[in-house]
Structure 1
Amino acid sequence: MADTVLKCNGRTHESRTAGSDLSLKRIAGLALDRLWMYLTFYSIIPFAGYSDMRYSMYLFLSVSLCALAATMAIVALGVRHGEALGSNKPLVAGGALLMSGGLVLVLATGAFIRGDSAIVAVCAAGIATGIGSAVLLLSWLEVLSTAGFSCMLSEMALGCGAALLGSLILLFFPTALANAIILICPFASAFLLQHCLREIDGIPTDGADAPRSGKTTVLFIKGLVGAFSFGALAGFYDAFAGFRTFDVDIGYGVFLLAAGTVAMLAIALISVFCKEDSLSHAYRLAMLVICFGCLLTLFMADSNTHSGGVVFAGYETFNILVAICAQQASQSFNIPPARTFGVALATLYFGEMAGVFSIYLYGDTILKLGLATITVIAMMWLLFSHLYLFTEIDLINLELGEQAAPIRPSEAPNSESEDTTSEGARTPASPTPVGNEQVCQEIVERYGLSNRETDVLELLLQGRTIARIQEALFISAGTVSTHVRHIYQKTGSANKQDLLDMVEQIRVEIEQESAGK
């Protein structure tokens, strides 16, 4: 990881550009955190001792989801510039302790507690695990965000894929051994988190929020509504499958985890072989998988185990995309990472809660509509969210940051080389204004931009939007995004505002050099 120091408009800005190497520690740490989550929330292993396994699982999952979303929302509202969750060792250790402690309470309840006391204990365990998992997940996302967009996508896909595959294998282990491994995971993950933080020397948290226009505010709102919508659809199908499947066995977990593993492998391959449009391709894959899961509903006459598993795979893919979008928003607008991750994921999980509770409250009424009607409604819901709320072009705009007005040189002076005062005295002429073309040429020479990156930079400085740059250069939005990302990395700019500040600084330097001659 390289550190680049920029001096922009009289201030020094230190920007970290991501290294291209993947970190096995980050992948392993995230995998341990996700392994705990998948086996605790989506397998029967912790609930083997319960007489009413189905009810206990869904009660625990619902309470945990509420606590998880609420904790993320509280963190998003409370975090300030200069603060990072992962740097707070007691907080991270407390999160790991709550995760393992909640699971211990689940196991103890299944073995020793019955009746109403068991319900209270399961709810308490759900609250503890929800709070703890929110803290550890947000801390890991802060660390992963320092690696840059491409590396973060690869590491999240590999980490989640390894966790899903490991969970699938552990389903066939003896229950006691599997539970022991699950209990260790949060502490091992927190340990690796602290190691990663020492290696990167903390999480960058300096600066203030970048100014945002009305267009950017609308972009944020659309994205959050879209995330809520996708979360609601996933929660609906998860609860719908459980509502129609009264026997919970190991087969449900096997298919769920296997489908998720395949989806994560596909995302990892996309991040390696489709680097220029990786985010767009990953988003399309998520939509296709969720769409396929919805269509499978028509063919599941007795249960929705398989369709629910496929929707789960698409939803896990979408989770990664939401995290990537939050990372881009944090970088583009100088927002604390914990805030953007907290807002984005809390919205997603609140949507999932809405979908789950819609089945709990109106399940019998919804079933009367018939599978065909439910499928049509779900497909229309999905398409509307994809086309109007959480669109591909919005993903790219998040990375570009605030759409600034074109940068133009100052007004040209009079044709005379010198100005004349009212008394006839002559004063030195102002420096010749420097145009964008000259500034771009200087940036190309300093930082070694490619020809296509130069074309994109020139259009950016003219205030062109993604769509206009696409039309002018005949390239896709994803390719534009890739070129912009490369420009940021080569110039050491954290976001568009940093790039514009650097451009103005170079313009001033050229003008001063010209005046000195």
Structure 2
Amino acid sequence: MTAGFKGSAEALQRWRAMRQLLSLPVVSIGVAFGCALVWVLMVFQSLGIFHNFANGEAIMDAVYLISIVSTTATLALIAAFHRQVRGILGTNPMRIIIPASLAASTFLMYATGVPGTLGVVAIGASGVLSGVSSAFFLMYFGVTLSLLPLRESIVAIATGYGLSTVAFSLYLFFSPFEATVCAATTAPLGAVFLYYGVHTLGLQKQQEHDPLPPQQMPENPDERRLLRRLTAAFSLSMLVVGVAYELSRTLYVRMGAFAAGEVGDYALVQVVVTTVVSLGSMGLALALASAKSSWGPQVCYRLTVLFLLVGVFLLPAPLIFPGLSTFLPLAVNNASFLCLNMMMWVLLTGTCRRFFTSCLRTFATVRCAWAAGPLCGMLVGRWLLAEGQLTVPTLFAAALICAVLLLLMESFMFTERTLGETLELMPRSQQGHFQESCRRVAQRYGLTDREREVMVLFAKGRTLPYIQKELYLSKSTVSTHRQHIYQKLGVHTSQEMIDLIQRERV
């Protein structure tokens, strides 16, 4: 009887945990994240908006080039001036201006096909405006996903990637005007879902003008070195992977003539991508959320890199075997890259969660390199196409370049050791979640290291004499620390402090 009751209680507890993971606010943040992801796919990975223009592909390439350069430059400036950006990022006007600017830039793209000066101005204006606004829009998600607990963050990211691939598959059948309206509404719609999720979960408890803690590097030298090492590993790996992916994708798209071909051909590719990404989302989510060791995530990482290598090695195959379609190799290439991106989002936001006082600079630095990779890959691909026709030797050379880049990334940049170090920053046990909540409260409200130690012990129910003995402090010193803690947290009793820490965990 006792065993049966215990089993029922554990089942009920698991059910409640699952309901919390799949709660409406968490899913809402995932939908908002999907809106941000699908905007890029809609605007720059199909000719939906530019389909009726005489030089639609050339115009899209020009807008994309300007946009990605603007995004990279904006993220670099955010990383350099993160302390100044902190003060304006979470303000109410910025929450409206950024998605509205992204929508306006999308409508401007519809005018890029106008002949003459007006079309040229529209190309430049839409490229710059979309690049700057999308960079800030990404920063919102970097901060929001860093505020979420690990499992909720994984659910939101997996939801976003699954939703974005489904929405993009449907988008391919729209007319140019319908495509423009659909792409333009994604940012405002995402902002609404994000606002609902953030405020329902109470992720921003401070004043509207100061939503983030002061941004500074960790005080501990070992933690500072670890953060710099992980930031460099993330940046270099995503730069290299971005080059390999975009180079191979550019050549695949040209071989398959998807830009000028039937929509159904490219939609077929997207159906395969959607299926693989959805399965990959569930697999990565389970591996990262439930693994008690790094073995599961390492297997997922190896498989993702393996499929990326398969995608690039198949690059010359359609020319060697004329009857072979480019649909499946392109689908493998796209799906594996999206799965790797999803995994990197989880790991990057987990790192930002651990070093929250450095989250703006860390996230902006990595995303800057993340954006620069596809830009370099596209330029190399366009250069190869401009030099002559697609030939087997050219494709073999491109495949070799991509494979070498991927192997360099896996062997020297983001290795399994780096993956293990990143996973160690993510708490999985109840004790780990408690320590993480205390750390985040201390960072958010500006507690010193000693005040954090005192807060943790009081939150555990330790008495004042016990803390005196444990920390080798006098009674008056402990009392002074407690008073400063209460003032900074805006509480008056120990129970109110514990409630605040508990809300952080929820």
1:155 paired residue number: 156
Tell me the C-alpha RMSD between the 2 structures: 3.5
Query: 1:139 deviation in Å?
Result: 0.8
Counterpart position of 1:209: 217
Displacement of 1:513 in angstroms is 7.3
Query: Do residues 36 (structure 1) and 39 (structure 2) align?
Result: yes
* 1:330 has 2:352 as partner: yes
Distance in 2 (alpha carbons) for counterparts of 1:173 and 1:334: 41
Of 275-284 and 289-298, deviating more is 275-284
1:90 maps to which residue?
Answer: 93
- Which runs of structure 1 show a deviation greater than 6 angstroms over 4 or more consecutive aligned residues? 497-501, 513-516
Residues 252 and 119 of structure 1: CA distance in aligned 2, closer, same or farther (over 3 Å):
farther
Q: Give the Cα–Cα distance (whole angstroms) in 1 for the partners of residues 438 and 339 of structure 2.
A: 29
2:306 counterpart (288, 292, 305): 288
Whether contact under 8 Å (1:290, 1:315) holds in the other structure is yes
User: Alpha-carbon deviation of 1:247?
Assistant: 5.7
Task: Call closer, same or farther: CA 1:282–1:97 in 2, change over 3 Å.
Answer: farther
Bigger Cα displacement from structure 2, 179-188 vs 305-314: 305-314
Q: Secondary structure at the match of 1:109?
A: coil
Go from structure 1 to structure 2 and tell me whether the alpha carbon gap of 1:256 and 1:145 turns closer, same or farther (over 3 Å shift).
farther
Aligned residue for 2:36, secondary structure, equals helix
How far has the Cα of 1:168 moved from its partner? 0.8
Residue aligning to 1:231: 242
2:433 is equivalent to residue 489 of structure 1: yes
Is the deviation greater in 308-317 or in 43-52? 308-317
Give TM-score, length-normalised by structure 2.
0.72
Structure with more helix by fraction: 2
Secondary structure of the residue that 1:124 maps to in structure 2? Answer: helix
2:403 to 372, 379, 389: 379
SS in 2 for 1:192: helix
In structure 1, the residue matched to 2:69 is 66
Match of 1:360 among 382, 386, 401: 382
The question of 1:220 aligning with 2:231 is answered yes
Whole-Å Cα distance in 2 between the matches of residues 337 and 173 of structure 1? Answer: 38
SS state at 1:335 partner: helix
Give per-residue Cα distances to partners, 1:262-285, cap 9 Å, x unaligned: 343123212453321564344334
1:269 counterpart (279, 282, 285): 282
**1:350 to partner: Cα distance:** 1.0
SS of the counterpart of 1:370?
helix
User: What corresponds to 2:267 in structure 1?
Assistant: 254
Q: What is the CA distance between 1:148 and its match in structure 2?
A: 2.2
Q: Distance in 1 between matches of 2:317 and 2:375?
A: 26
In our comparison, the structure showing a higher alpha carbon Rg is 1
CA distance in 1 between partners of 2:182 and 2:400 (Å): 42
Where in structure 2 are the equivalents of 1:77-156 lying within 5 Å? 77-80=80-83, 83=86, 87-110=90-113, 113-115=114-116, 117-156=118-157
2:48 counterpart residue number? 45
Identical columns (%): 17
Q: Evaluate the alpha carbon distance shift between residue 268 and residue 58 of structure 1 in structure 2; reply closer, same or farther with a 3 A threshold.
A: same
- What residue in structure 1 maps to residue 369 of structure 2? 347
Aligned runs of 1:322-471 on 2, under 5 Å? Answer: 322-363=344-385, 369-400=393-424
Count of aligned pairs = 416
Summarize deviations over 1:166-209 as a string: whole Å, max 9, x none.
Answer: 22123224443343232222112112222233222417632542
- Per the alignment, do residues 486 and 178 of structure 1 end up closer, same or farther by CA in structure 2, a change over 3 Å counting? same
Partner SS for 1:108: coil
Amino acid at match of 1:396: G
**Alpha-carbon distance, 1:260 to partner:** 3.6
SS at match of 1:50: coil
Equivalent residue number for residue 333 of structure 2: 311
Q: Conserved in 1, the CA contact under 8 Å of 2:235 and 2:367?
A: no
Q: Classify 1:170/1:46 alpha carbon distance in 2 versus 1 (closer, same or farther; 3 Å).
A: same
1:230 deviates by 0.9
Partner SS state of residue 110, structure 2:
helix
Structure 1: gaps spanning 5 or more residues: 1-18, 402-480
Q: Please give the secondary structure, in 2, of the residue aligned with 1:300.
A: helix
Equivalent residue for 2:181?
180
Q: Verify: 1:192 aligned to 2:193, yes or no.
A: yes
What residue number does 1:509 align with?
466
What's the CA shift for 1:133?
1.7
Over 3 Å counting, the alpha-carbon distance change for 1:118 and 1:151 in structure 2 is: same
> Do the aligned partners of 2:158 and 2:285 also contact (CA within 8 Å) in 1?
no
Return the TM-score normalized by structure 1.
0.70
Shift of residue 510 of structure 1? Answer: 6.5
